[in-house]
């Protein structure tokens, strides 16, 4: 049966407790306190209970602490997959959305997600689900506000002639 993983010795338990008290991250603080308890001679199962974890999890954090020091005790979230559109393509998509559709070319008077899905597929060769187009637009800084579309044959002078004016007092 293998022995326990040795903890690096360049930090004493008092130094780990000082780091835990100064840390802004609660998870890092409790991990540092568990490691300080191990350095004080507490068995690993009881030291893991101090940090609210089991012995195996404490062992994993010991490995990370040995490799990277106290900074290794932060949670490193996965960033997720890379975007299928490049920054240049995203910038072009922003200009497409801001300028609006051309009714003769695009066949619509306002953009919907399904229309933008088709445009992204045609221009960039990337197939997104319709719901992800909405997520992509949100990440690009657009909100879900829909303006009333304007009919292409609408005449501004005719509209102004039919507006009712309130009588003056």
Q: Are 44 and 55 in contact (CB under 8 A)?
A: yes
pLDDT of residue 146: 65
pLDDT tens digits for range 114-128 = 999 999 999 999 999
In the chain, count H helices and then E strands: 9, 0
Other Cβ atoms less than 10 A from the Cβ of 76: the count is 9
pLDDT tens digits for range 95-113 = 999 999 999 999 998 899 9
Single pTM value for the model: 0.51
Two structure tokens written together for 169: 């007092």
- In this structure, the dihedral spanned by the alpha carbons of residues 65, 71, 77 and 83, taken in order and rounded to 10 degrees, is -120
């Amino acid at each position: 049966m293998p022995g326990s993983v040795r903890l690096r010795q360049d930090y004493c338990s008092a130094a780990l407790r000082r780091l835990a008290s100064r840390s802004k991250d609660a998870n890092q603080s409790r991990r540092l306190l568990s490691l300080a308890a191990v350095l004080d001679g507490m068995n690993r199962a009881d030291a893991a209970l101090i940090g609210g974890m089991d012995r195996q999890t404490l062992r994993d954090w010991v490995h990370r602490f040995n490799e990277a020091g106290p900074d290794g005790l932060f949670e490193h979230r996965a960033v997720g997959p890379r975007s299928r559109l490049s920054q240049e393509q995203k910038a072009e998509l922003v200009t497409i959305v801001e300028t609006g559709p051309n009714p003769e070319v695009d066949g619509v008077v306002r953009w919907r997600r399904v229309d933008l899905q088709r445009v992204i597929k045609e221009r960039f060769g990337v197939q997104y689900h319709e719901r992800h187009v909405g997520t992509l637009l949100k990440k690009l800084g657009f909100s879900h506000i829909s303006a009333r579309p304007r009919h292409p044959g609408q005449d501004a002078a005719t509209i102004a002639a039919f507006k009712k004016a309130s009588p003056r007092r």
